Amino acid sequence: MTTAAGTEEKIKAAAREIFLKKGFAATRTRDIAEHADINIALLNYYFRSKEKLFQQIMMETLSTFFGSLLQIFMDRESALQTKFEQCASQYIDLIKQQPDIPMFILSELRAQPEAFVQSIAGNARLKDLVIYEQIVAEMDEHQQKAFDPVHIMINVMSLTLFPFVARPMLQTIGAVNPSEFDDLMEKRKQLIPQWIMEMLK
């Protein structure tokens, strides 16, 4: 019952790093074990199987990814533009620290269509969010009803997350070089809210 100093967490840290980088199928338990300075037997002792370990990592990652966002979206006090600013700023900071998160979630969610549905949703549907009401109100005020408000939500996510997801491609086609990518994203913290507000007018 007595767990050696942080062994379990050490394994999880290694698993997180490798799963996030290579995805479930391309990851070998050997790599995780080696990276955590233990052996495969111990990995299975703690987590029973590669699959179980993966699910745990996935759940925690989803929680990190959606958790902070949900608070912003449900705040009844803050103005709409403030929400967009917080959202862009917070996401860009989070993903700078763990750049593989978006790609990981998107690609593993594609592979396992239904496995994680209840862990994400279950609670809130998009149209129940405070931010969604605010978008609708803002569009009404400008007699702007030319399109579905869902586009706005999609755009916030697109403009924020896509650059991280597409980073290898963007570098390959020479759109950005590695050193200036961070500055570019820093600047987008300010630009994205502006662009989005403009779309509502």
- Which residues lie near DNA (CB under 7 A)? 1-4, 7, 27-30, 37-42, 44-45, 48-51
Give dist(CA 15, CA 24) in Å, integer: 10
Give dist(CA 72, CA 86) in Å, integer: 7
Instruction: Give yes or no for residue 170 binding a copy of itself (CB under 8 A).
Output: yes
Q: 10, 36 in Cβ contact below 8 A?
A: yes
Whole-number minimum distance, CB 60 to DNA, in Å?
19
Whole-number minimum distance, CB 150 to a copy of itself, in Å?
6
Whole-number minimum distance, CB 94 to DNA, in Å?
28
Q: Interhelix angle for 80-97 vs 178-199, to 10°? A: 160
Instruction: Give yes or no for residue 121 binding a copy of itself (CB under 8 A).
Output: yes
Here the tokens at position 129 are: 């969010």
Q: 148, 127 in Cβ contact below 8 A?
A: no
> Which residues of this chain interact with a copy of itself, rule CB under 8 A?
22-26, 103, 105-107, 109-111, 113, 116-117, 120-121, 124-127, 147-148, 150-151, 153-155, 157-159, 161-163, 165-166, 168-170, 172-176, 184, 187-188, 191, 195, 198-199
